[in-house]
Structure formats: structure tokens, C-alpha cells
Structure 1
Amino acid sequence: MELAGKAAVVTGGTRGVGAGIARAFLAAGADVVVCARRPPREPVRAAGRTAVFHPLDLREPDAVQDFFDVVAADRGHLDVLVNNAGGTPHRLLGECGAERHARVLALNLTAPLTASLAAYPHLRASGGSVVMIGSVSGTRPSPGTAAYGAAKAGLESLARSMAVEWAPLVRVNTLVPGLVRTELAGLHYGDEEGVAAVARTVPLGRLAEPSDVGEAAVFLASARAAYITGASLLVHGGGERPAFLDAATVNKPSGDGE
């Protein structure tokens, strides 16, 4: 219960990776508030405890500020902000106009900035921390999700600058997940056979579970990471096997039995 007595907000914490993060914080003893535009299908619970849900559109700055002020006032403090909310449909750059791609940038980059600025006075008062949820899409080409990848690259850069500006009172770090198995995995990877095939491309042999990301987020928010700020922590199972290795002929059997 290393976060007992701490108050944490997880944006987009009602499903998928966000719910996994919220459950990890609950299990670590934190008082957890999750926000999203729509309520969860069922409450987010772990270790006999339940996260409090608040409806919120992170693209509305005034509502975001009011939300963090209320959360901090109700609990007397705010110790952790996990900027998890985000996402994107698969859409090639030429399939739509710039304004649709701009919406993806707004959700995945501007919204975390808005939330961080609203939470900052409360985190400064408590000596708290911000955990950004990035993506490997921000460090490699992301065909079909280019605007999302650009936003996640910007999020890492924002976190590093934020860490310098807000030190020493507020720590800011980024988690960089790779492929994660959530309830929506089928939309990205197909049926179970497709998911298994994708998992074989990961060196550790499986997709991450939301709990893997959640445990890493708890670590970055805890006293164990007290000297870590401005860092990016990869949670990707070793990354992706380079495609050229499958094409190269070096060290492959010749097929003649030798």
C-alpha cells in the first residue's frame, strides 16, 4: 500500500489501459478519481476499493480547472495526475482534411497540457507528480495514425520541459507503452489468431496487459522514484523485432540439411 493516503486522478480511466492504471493505484492504496466523457459500464474496482467517476471533457479548459479544484478541495490535496486519455481512429493522412487530424492532436497533446496546468497548483502544494502516458508511436513511424504519433512525440517533449520548469516541487515523467491487450485489441489486431501473431513479434512473447502499464505508473508516482523526473520509461516487452532480420539470409538454414 505504498500510495496509501495519496489522491490520484487518472484521465480516461474507465476502460482499457486507463482502467488498468486506476486499478493499480487502488491496489497501492491511493484514493482514485477517474474522468471521461462517458461513465464506465461498471465501476473500476481493485483490492475491495472503488474509483470515483466524474464526467469531464478534457477539451473544455474551464470545466477541467473546476474539476481539479473540486477534487483537491474534497480530498484536501492532490498528489498524482496520470494523463492517460487519448486515442485515434486508423486514418491515412490523405483520407481527410487537416482539421480532423488537428482533433487528434488536441485530444492527445493539448488536453494533457490543459489537465497538467489545471492540476499544477495542487500538485505543487503536495509535492506531487505527473505521469504522461505516451506511446511507441511517438518514437517510430505510425502509418495510419500519424497525427497520434506526432502528438505522443510532442507529449514526451512537453513532459521533459515541464519536469525542468516545475522542479523540484513536481516530478513529471512519461510511460511509453508498446502493444497492449485491452478489450479493444480485436479492432486493431483481428481475431485471437491475429492477436497471437502480433504477440509473437514482441521479444517477451506477449502483448502488455493494462496491469503492466499500471504497475509502472505506480512506480513512477511512488517514493521509490523520488529522484526520477523528466524520464521516459519504455513498457514495450523489448520493442519490436526489426523486419530486416526476417529478410536477411545470414545464419539461416540453407535447406540442404547442413
Structure 2
Amino acid sequence: MELSDPIDFTGRAVIVTGGTKGIGATIAEAFLAAGAEVMVCGRTAPAALPSSAGRTAAFRSTDVRDPAAAAQLVTAAAERFGRLDALVNNAGGSPDADAATASPRFVEKVVALNLLAPFYVAQAANLVMREQPEGGAVINIGSVSAHDPQPGTAAYSAAKAGLLGLTRALALEWAPKVRVNHITAGLIRTAEASERYGADEGATVAGIIPMGRLATPADVAHACLWLAGPHSSYVNGADLAVHGGGEIPARDLVRGSAGRIPFSSP
């Protein structure tokens, strides 16, 4: 069987939530470079939209925690592009908070952004993808916190663990037309996160990761391209680890130095 070019997304359409900055913007740029039409969303419009190869992503202001807004995002993309082939649920993240004193409002917001929002957007995307002959792919960007929680991340870790469970449940229900997979992202070097790695700019942290470095946003973007492409056509309900081989010792190492390692989640 001859497979098509795994990095040629010409004629295909993709949504990247939280795709206006950081990891999400890099994911959007990777799909644009591969030929896809891309729509990104965020709470507010950025100064500049992701672009690559002379092409720019479309933007829609969306609070993905709102089920109606999430559905409208998908409708807008499908109407603009005439189809929807991949959804990357990238929006997420949370500041640290002491579990003993975290307010109910804080917990609700963290769970809404990291678990409920991906569910809402995926539901709407499935309605479009299941009617297409080629189906579609949903990719949920998770975190190592789902497997190995850090102090100060109780609500976030619980939500990300839920996202992994949601991925597996949707993969069972929506196959074979719609594949649903999960990426466990590790420590990712972004401009925002780099400020918190300490005086050595992350060298100590990188030293206890088997690959010897922190991930870059491009590492996650390339994994998304693979999961959305033809070479992963039989991959469904998977948890793809993009963490350099594991980083469990980092928690104990950093507790005694400059503070906790921030999990740079999208």
C-alpha cells in the first residue's frame, strides 16, 4: 500500500485552540507550512497571527469554555474552509495554587479550560468530521502532570488526567471515522516559561531529562502533524509521550533549589 506524503496537508483544514501564541502558534504554523488551512482561536485577537510560507491563519475570538461558543468556532471553520480534518485541543494551563486554599471558582475555571473545553470543541468537530468520507482526527494536548502531579497543581493535574480518560473514551465511541489521540507534553521551553527556570536557563533541569534538553514547541507540533496524517491512520486512543524520556526526578531536584518547575502547558 502506498501512503501519501505525511507532511502534505494541502486541501485540508485544521483548528488549533489557543493557537495565537506559544505552543499553539507553533502548531498552527507547522500545519500552515504543510499546506493546511488553519483557524486559531483565543479570548482576544493577537498583534500578529501565525503565518508560514506566505500564508496566515484565520482567527476567531472564542471562549472555548462556553459550549455555544465552542460549537460556533467549529461551524465557522467548516463554513470558511468547506471541511474540517483535524482539531488540536491546545488551549489550557494554570498557575500554581495551594490545594488547601484554592477557591471553588479557581478550581472550576481550571477544570473548565483543561477538560470541559476540549470536550465541547471535540463534540462539535465530531459532528462535522463523521459526515466526511475521510473522517478526521482530534488531538488533545495533555501534560506529564496527568501522570506525575507536581505540588501546587492539584486542579490542573486532575483536569489533565481527565483529559487523558476523555481521549480514550471518545476514541472508543467515535472510531472509525474520527480518531482521537493524546499527547503527553513534558517541560517545554517557551519565552514565558524560560523566565522561571533559574539562573542557568534550564541547564539543571535539562540535565535530568534523558534526552538532555527541554522540549521545544516544534517537538509538539511535529507530533501533531504525525497524529493528524496518514501514517497514523491506525492510531486511535493513544497517549504519545513527548517528554524526552521522562522527568520524574525533576520534582525532587527542583524543590531544593529555586522553586518548582513550571509545566509549560498550552
Q: Which residue pairs with 1:152 in the alignment?
A: 160
1:113/1:245 CA distance change after superposition, 3 Å? closer
1:243/1:99 CA distance change after superposition, 3 Å? closer
Which of 223, 230, 238 is residue 231 of structure 1 equivalent to?
A: 238
Which consecutive residues of structure 1, in runs of 5 or more, have no partner in the other structure? 247-258
Structure 1 segment 16-31 matched on structure 2, within 5 A:
16-31=22-37
Q: Contact 1:8–1:78 (CA<8 Å) still a contact in 2? A: yes
Which of 33, 36, 54 is residue 39 of structure 2 equivalent to?
A: 33
1:69/1:190 CA distance change after superposition, 3 Å? same
Q: Deviations over 1:217-257 (max 9, x none)?
A: 010000110000000000001111647999xxxxxxxxxxx
Distance in structure 1 (CA, Å) of the matches to 2:250 and 2:70? 43
Distance in structure 1 (CA, Å) of the matches to 2:169 and 2:159? 15
Shift in Å at residue 194 of structure 1? Answer: 4.0
The alignment partner of 1:89 has SS state of coil
Q: Deviations over 1:188-214 (max 9, x none)?
A: 4234x1422222221111111101100
Structure 1 segment 1-258 matched on structure 2, within 5 A:
1-126=7-132, 127-191=135-199, 193-240=200-247, 242=249
1:185/1:75 CA distance change after superposition, 3 Å? same
Q: Over aligned residues, Cα RMSD in angstroms?
A: 1.8
Q: Contact 2:205–2:250 (CA<8 Å) still a contact in 1? A: no
Shift in Å at residue 68 of structure 1? Answer: 1.1
Question: What is the TM-score when the length of structure 1 is the normalising length?
Answer: 0.90
Distance in structure 1 (CA, Å) of the matches to 2:76 and 2:218? 28
The alignment partner of 1:184 has SS state of helix
Which consecutive residues of structure 2, in runs of 5 or more, have no partner in the other structure? 1-6, 254-266
Shift in Å at residue 40 of structure 1? Answer: 2.0
Q: Which residue pairs with 1:253 in the alignment?
A: none
Q: Deviations over 1:58-111 (max 9, x none)?
A: 122112212211210121111100000011011111232233112101110000
1:42/1:119 CA distance change after superposition, 3 Å? same
The one-letter amino acid of 2:167's match is: A
The alignment partner of 1:134 has SS state of strand
